[in-house]
Structure 1
Amino acid sequence: MLSTLNESQQKAAQHIDGPMLILAGAGSGKTKTITTRLAYLISIGIDPSSILTLTFTNKAATEMRERAFSMIDKNTYPPLLCTFHKFGLLFLKFHISQLGRKNNFVIIDSDDKKRILKSIDKETTTAVLSSEISKFKNSVVSIAEAKASAQDKLYMQIADVYEKYENYLEQNNLVDFDDLILLTYKILSTNKELAKETSEKYRYIMVDEYQDTNELQYMLLKKLCDQHNNLCVVGDDDQSIYGWRGATIKNILTFGETFENTLIIKLEENYRSTNKILFHANALIEHNRDRLGKKLVGTRGEGNSIRVYESQDENEETRKITEDIKKLISNGESAKDIAILYRVNALSRALEEGLNRANIHYKLVGGLKFYERAEIKDLIAYFRVITNANDNFSIKRIINKPKRGIGKMTIDKLELESHKKSKSMFSIIKEYTPDELTVLVGKKNSRTLKVFMASVEDLQDVLEDTKMRFIDLFEDTFDFKSTYAKVIDAEDRLANIDEFYGYLRDFFIKNIDLNLEDFLNEISLESAADAISDEYISLMSIHASKGLEFKHLFIVGMEEGFFPLVGDGSNIEEERRLGYVAITRACDELTMSFVHSRFYKGRRTQLVKSRFLTESDLIKGSLTIEKNSAFKKDDLVKHKIFGMGRILSVQKAGKDLKLNINFGGMKRDILSSFVEKI
């Protein structure tokens, strides 16, 4: 079973006792190595029931199980190989009684969770409550700590809801997804005997995709290793791209410090991409400071150079890419081997339209098509009401967005009256006197509905007068964006809304004689234009592409502000890791594209090409950022003669680095090739 592995993979597979970090570069045979190690441990007589392998997805667990089990005796007791959450579920079924609860608990899904939160607090956005409570749990923040750390009214309210939500779960013997790990950790923390027993049961623990672990998962692993240090983790610090959902890159960066005598093995041979692609991926990621340092080495030959497309706008960009794709398909390439990646989901709109026009079948991976997104459907419903106020279906969708206090009962009463009188709901609101409307829906709702009707009529007048002022006045009137400003994926949603506004503006500029109704008719045709086919190219965000590979890859939106995202909350090192992930999805051919202008926040904006194009040595540019090649200031290093020292400064010296090192008071300038990092 070891014969198909390279030297580094064999070394990792045969390591048995003590902590080990397998630093596995993109396309370096990570899964093959960890599954072979699992089979190897069993083959040398280690009890399979003492081996625990943890993954992040059921899909990964299934693939690893099949690959590992194909190498071992069919009669062997199967070792436990599952997700973190599945492990938590199994543990709680045996031990939740430690918390004074029964083991016939029910696991609630995200919709159940939102319904419970909604019943507790109708005012605060449910998505915000759900997200913040999840963060509390994954950072092991208690209710008391959440209350003590609340700095403003919103977080005081969230902490209060957190307490009521937890009480509700306990009273009804429910657990949410986060509880599967949190309650397991709590039990192991409070029962030392059980922690010892569990740790002795699982003497050999392996973790896949370790760079994606969060604070809680790290703390659980520490408990599971209570009686031993036989923890093997596999991951790639350069592919840690989920900081926004709680993953902590420090878990992998500090693994060697946390677990003494860690063996670090680097898998640097890449079996996926050509040398040219790997050269530029390595060049980009070397600019990051927070990394352990490795360099991908190709096994597939030089390959073609990466192409960089420069276009005036997104329409020219889409035209070039669709022409390339048509050529590839006509030359016999399979559509499933072709993909287009982007950092910001809103960029898919222009691509979707271009692909529809070119009759190229596509699928959106891990996302909804542009016109199927909730925020866009809401906008379309608003515009339909403005062009045709008698559209009951659209009125029902938007009458309480943003929230106006119009509940389901009020909508039902209006709809019933509409059927009785054979008039539209809008006509009822318009024609009834305030007193008549008050009898139907109550005084407060009557006033709200009259204001809504007047707003729609004002915007109808604006459309008659000047189309170009319509969008600004629409947003001023309804404050539509506020509906999505505080949801968990607000940035994406608001970008989609701005993209839609920009598209409408552009439509009015290019079609002076056409109106809003013509625009709505056109997009109805576009969104229904998908033909049925077995062969699709893939459109997806870079996050959705992780773990996938494509022979022919296009990365669009290589502009500052789009990729990398810049501004509040953005992390340039994580953005750069995303760039590295994107480039290393390509096997044979890669095209990266930037434009001089795009719709940005609803207006056409001049853009600057991405720094990543310069940093990856694809184009020359004035932007220079100091490289980090595994050595940086304050690193500890070892020299054969001078022993251990600390780096004081790093300078470029040809292809090497000149390090000024303090060896216990004696300072020396030494080239980096003569020392090794500790």
Structure 2
Amino acid sequence: MKDHLSLEERVLSGLDEEQRQVATALHGPVCVLAGAGTGKTRAITHRIAYGVHSGVYQPSRLLAVTFTARAAAEMRTRLRDLGVGAVQARTFHAAALRQLQFFWPQAVGGALPNLLEHKAQLVAEAARRLRLGTDRATVRDLAGELEWAKVSMLTPDSYLAHASERGTPAGFDLTTVARVFGAYEELKADRNLLDFEDVLLVTVGILQEDARIAATVRDQYRHFVVDEYQDVSPLQQRLLDLWLGGREELCVVGDASQTIYSFTGATPQHLLRFASTHPQAQVIRLVRNYRSTPQVVGLANAVLTQRRPAGKVADALWATPLELRSQQASGEAPQFLECPDDEAEAAAVARLVGERIAAGTPAAQIAVLFRTNGQSEAFEQALAGAGIGYQLRGGERFFTRKEVRDAILSLRAAVRAAGTGHDGDAEGAGPDSPPLAQQVKDILASIGYTEEAPAGGGAVRERWESLAALVNLAEELVLSRGPGLDLEGFVAELQERSQSQHVPTVNGVTLASLHAAKGLEWDAVFLVGLSEGLMPISFADTPEAVDEERRLLYVGATRARAFLHLSWSLSRTPGGRAHRKASRFLEGIRPGSAAQAGPAAKRRNRTERPALTACRVCGTLLSTAAERKIGRCANCPASYEETTFEALRAWRLETAREAQLPAYMIFTDATLVAIAERKPTSLKALADVAGIGPTKLEAYGEAVLELLAAS
């Protein structure tokens, strides 16, 4: 039947009613409010194709603009498939750079200055000119602040007047940041360089000052489409206005509830005010969600609707959210899990991920999403320990981060300086030496570790999180291996774990920050670390910042197609004080929260914690994952024979070498201790040891039993 349809009719076939409204609204201004998973890219690409095929648009005179190279590439692919590959789809910067390269000779003369791909080195030099001590993380935060200032169209002179609410970027007062800004701009001018933001700024300047060039650009492009319009900065909006030159042949697409980049200068205000700025605008809402099940959509909607008034300023900036309506079949209810500590949460998530994979969900269709990159290490370790491949998106693997590499170098240097040998009689391992964790803290203090987390976010905070993760690991290893673990042993353990990062994990589970997950989707999504201080993040200290954190959680939830799991922990480290609580954003959503049930039901329906286990020696309740795995508390002496434990370790090392895996991926030390103490004599008894699942039982069970029988 479709063969008898015209080309234009075929372009429109398969669109729902609202998408068809978008595709046939060929003259601007048009504002498309498109919720997550509602097919906005499909709607706008079919609009472009329908306009071209019906003769309304000339392909060379339409410019589609989006925010990432990946999104622009996807749009070009779809346009090509629809037979309109001549239409340009570019990022703001790519479009501006093309115009700048063309018009620079006539507008300015001479060759276009060189483009500065990375500003960190120049920012560091500007800081050094002012005799400021800066490390890599501080430079990154300073660079981010300068980018915010420039997309907000501020200069070093006007920065102070408009940055009063920016706090202390990179730990500096605003006056100091303004001085760094000025020195950076001077260095660029001296070396004839343009940075990323200058491409937009200079293009804006040329279009404002040269009427002939502006007329040429406006004659070239008659129609504009802007995707992700909630993310435009003041500078990008100014460029768009100059391209338009007062015309209204513009279609914008966005969702204010997905505004999660305000810290970069993005603002949804242009989207929210579009109808008042353009009184003749046609506003179309896309709310049919084709991505997720009703259960996932219902939770995502609730994350936004549970928001309560937060003051005049915040309420004015909060947009009434679109209420999504799922078009998928009913699925699983979202699951919630409260854990005693971060280690237990990571272990539980790894186990559940393994169950999903065993049930048929491809690993590549599973994601673990967290608020900060510093949270990744626990999940990297847990997945690796479970033999599950993973890939880290939007950040470096934990052991390849510069601060982690620097930390390991510092720890190695301390081992050499102490003259530590393999016999454990070194200065750093004596009876009067500080505990291992304290030694690690003291050594890492030289590269930036502090007992208290730094205020604010950004690279400085992420650097601290990475160093703190190493301190936590030292504390956990002492508990599982005993106080005899010295600094050299800890460094050897770090080296062994770092090697696992080189194992190919092409078809692995995705680990990503919530920001890096924007625009992506998976069958199953695990949202982790949903406790106060992480979600919302501790430095979200204004109602507006908290609202952005809420939107970030909404974005994370809408990444899931069929299954959504939400978890949090009560303590950062095993055995730590349970001072955390679940994120306020889960109130009224998770089972047993105040808005869902009364006091009696709240206690009855409360999310279950891991079962309480008593020490098999003294009967004390075990409080950490490591203690529960071994089956006794840290205060009770080990009951295994040293020769048995050493035989198990030797077997593990040989097995790991043959499999080209790090030793802890065969069995962790805690599991070896538990095996040595229990000395199981059958596969069934061995399976009762924590950390030995069906896969490891099949792979190593017979060998372990044979070794135990011989020892």
The CA deviation at 1:370 is: 1.7
Structure 1 position 583, deviation (Å):
0.9
Q: Secondary structure at the match of 1:539?
A: strand
- Paired with 1:162 and 1:101, the residues of 2 have a C-alpha distance of 27
Could you tell me which amino acid in structure 1 is paired with residue 393 of structure 2?
A: V
* CA-to-aligned-CA distance 1:549-595 (integer Å, 9 cap, x gap): 11122111111111121335561111111111111111111111122
Contact persistence 1:340–1:539 (CA under 8 A): yes
**Does residue 611 of structure 1 match 2:568?**
no
Which deviations, in whole Å up to 9, do the C-alpha atoms of 1:39-62 show, x marking residues without a partner? 122122222222111111222112
Structure 1 residue 133 corresponds to structure 2 residue 104: no
Answer yes or no: is the 8 Å Cα contact 1:576–1:612 preserved in 2. yes
The equivalences for 1:262-301 within 5 A come to 262-288=281-307, 289=315, 290-301=318-329
2:143 and 2:110 map into 1 onto residues whose CA distance is 25
Structure 1 residues 605 and 184, CA gap change in structure 2 (3 angstroms): farther
2:24 alignment partner, one of 5, 11, 14: 14
Please give the residue correspondences for 1:376-387 in structure 2 after superposition, counting only pairs within 5 Å.
376-387=404-415
Give the Cα separation in 2 of the matches to 1:553 and 1:203.
42
CA RMSD for the aligned pairs?
3.1
Which of 522, 547, 551 lines up with 2:519 in the alignment?
547
Label 1:540 to 1:149 Cα distance change in 2 as closer, same or farther (>3 A).
closer
Contact 1:564-1:576 within 8 A present in 2 as well = yes
Task: Report whether the alignment pairs 1:522 with 2:493.
Answer: yes
Q: Distance in 2 between matches of 1:329 and 1:174?
A: 50
AA aligned to 2:497 is E
SS in 2 for 1:281: helix
User: C-alpha displacement at 1:19, in angstroms?
Assistant: 1.5
2: CA distance, partners of 1:146 / 1:206: 32
Aligned to 2:571: 597
Matched ranges for 1:642-657 at <5 A? none
Instruction: Say which of 88, 98, 102 aligns to 1:94.
Output: 102
Q: What corresponds to 1:80 in structure 2?
A: 88
Aligned pairs (5 A) from 1:605-644: 606-615=579-588, 617-622=589-594
- 1:104-137: CA deviations, max 9, x gaps? 3321211564576467556353334423332221
Report the AA paired with residue 558 of structure 2: T
Q: Give the fraction of aligned pairs with identical amino acids, expressed as a percent.
A: 31
Q: Which residue of 1 aligns with 2:68?
A: 57
- 1:203 counterpart residue number: 222
Native 8 Å contact 1:117 1:129 kept in 2: no
* 1:312 counterpart = 2:329: no
Q: Give the deviation of 1:314 after TM superposition.
A: 2.4
Give the aligned partner of residue 178 of structure 1.
197
Q: How does 1:112-123 map to 2 (within 5 A)?
A: 113-114=122-123, 117=126, 120=129, 123=132
Partner SS, residue 500 of structure 2: coil
Deviations 1:257-297 (A, max 9, x none): 22222221111111110001101111111234511431111
Q: Residue 518 of structure 1: CA displacement?
A: 1.4
1:407-486 superposed matches below 5 A: 464-467=433-436, 469-471=438-440, 473-474=442-443, 480=449
1:546/1:149 CA distance change after superposition, 3 Å: closer
CA contact (8 A) 1:128 1:486 kept: no
Shift of 1:225: 2.0
In the alignment, which residue of structure 1 is the partner of 2:530?
Answer: 558
Given the alignment of the two structures, is residue 220 of structure 1 paired with residue 192 of structure 2, yes or no? no
Could you tell me how far apart the structure 1 residues matched to 2:446 and 2:357 are? 48
Q: Which amino acid aligns with 1:68?
A: L
* Residues 1:25 and 1:163: Cα distance change in structure 2 (over 3 Å): same
Counterpart residue number, 1:250:
269
Matched residue type, 1:389: A
User: What's the offset of the Cα at 1:502?
Assistant: 2.3
> Whose relative contact order is higher, 1 or 2, with alpha carbons under 8 Å and at least 6 apart?
1
| Residues 1:459 and 1:274: Cα distance change in structure 2 (over 3 Å) | same
Report the CA distance shift for 1:483/1:312 in structure 2 as closer, same or farther (over 3 A): closer
Q: Give 1:163 shift.
A: 3.7
State the SS of the aligned residue for 1:13: helix
- Local SS of the residue matching 2:387: coil
Q: 1:29, CA displacement in angstroms?
A: 0.8
Aligned-partner residue type, residue 117 of structure 2 = D
Once the two structures are superposed, what CA deviation does each residue of 1:316-354 show, in whole Å capped at 9, x if it has no partner?
A: 323322222222223333111111111122222221111
Looking at structure 2, the residues matched to 607 and 119 of structure 1 have their Cα atoms a distance apart, in angstroms, of 40
Determine which of 367, 374, 397 is the counterpart of 1:369.
397
Using the alignment, how far apart are the partners of 1:39 and 1:504 within structure 2? 59
Partner of 2:562: 588
* Residues paired across the two proteins, number: 554
Provide the C-alpha distance between the structure 1 equivalents of 2:453 and 2:584, rounded to a whole number of angstroms: 34
Mapped to 2, the partners of 1:464 and 1:244 lie a distance apart of 45
Q: Partners of 2:355 and 2:123 in 1: how far apart?
A: 47
Deviations 1:365-397 (A, max 9, x none): 111222221122222222222221289xxxxxx
Once the 2 structures are TM-superposed, how far is the Cα of residue 490 of structure 1 from its aligned partner?
Answer: 1.7
Q: Distance in 2 between matches of 1:462 and 1:102?
A: 72
> 2:104 touches 2:112 (CA, 8 Å); kept in 1?
no
- Name the SS of the counterpart of 1:52 in structure 2: strand
Given that residues 58 and 83 in structure 1 are in contact (C-alpha distance below 8 angstroms), is that contact kept between their aligned partners in structure 2?
Answer: yes
Counterpart Cα distance in 2 of 1:336 and 1:559:
26
Q: Within 2, Cα distance between the matches of 1:345 and 1:226? A: 42
TM-score by length of 2: 0.72
1:30 pairs with one of 31, 36, 40:
40
- In structure 1, C-alpha distance between the alignment counterparts of 2:124 and 2:446, rounded to whole Å: 30
1:62-73 alignment, distance < 5 Å: 62-72=73-83
Q: Structure 2 regions of 5+ residues with no counterpart?
A: 1-10, 308-314, 420-425, 597-711
1:314 and 1:597 in contact (8 A); partners too:
yes
**Alpha-carbon distance between aligned partners in 2 of 1:522 and 1:22, rounded to the nearest angstrom:** 54
Structure 1 CA distance, aligned partners of 2:496 and 2:444? Answer: 26
Aligned-pair CA distance for 1:168: 4.0
Q: Which residue of structure 1 aligns with residue 693 of structure 2?
A: none
Matched residue type, 2:157: A
Which position in structure 1 is the counterpart of 2:684? none
1:44 is the counterpart of 2:54: yes
Listed as ranges, the matches of 1:499-510 within 5 Å are 499-510=469-480
Q: Structure 1 residues 353 and 144, CA, compared in 2 at 3 Å: closer, same or farther? A: closer
Write the letter of the residue equivalent to 1:93: Q
Q: CA deviation at 1:254?
A: 1.9
- Output the CA distance in 2 between the equivalents of 1:148 and 1:544: 32
Asked if structure 2 preserves the Cα contact closer than 8 Å seen for 1:92 and 1:180, the reply is yes
Q: 2:555 is matched by which residue type in structure 1?
A: V
Q: Is the 8 A contact 2:141 2:459 kept in 1?
A: no
CA change 1:360–1:8 in 2 (3 A) is: same
1:483-494, aligned counterparts within 5 Å? 488-494=458-464
- Flag structure 1 segments of 5+ consecutive residues without an equivalent: 392-456, 625-678
Q: Which piece of structure 1 moves more, 170-179 or 572-581?
A: 170-179
Measure, in 2, the Cα distance between the counterparts of 1:183 and 1:484.
37
In 2 relative to 1, CA 120–603 (structure 1 residues): closer, same or farther, beyond 3 Å?
farther
| Counterparts in 2 of 1:275 and 1:13: CA distance versus 1, 3 Å | same
Contact 1:150 1:159 in 2 (8 A): no
Q: Is the 8 A contact 2:62 2:224 kept in 1?
A: yes
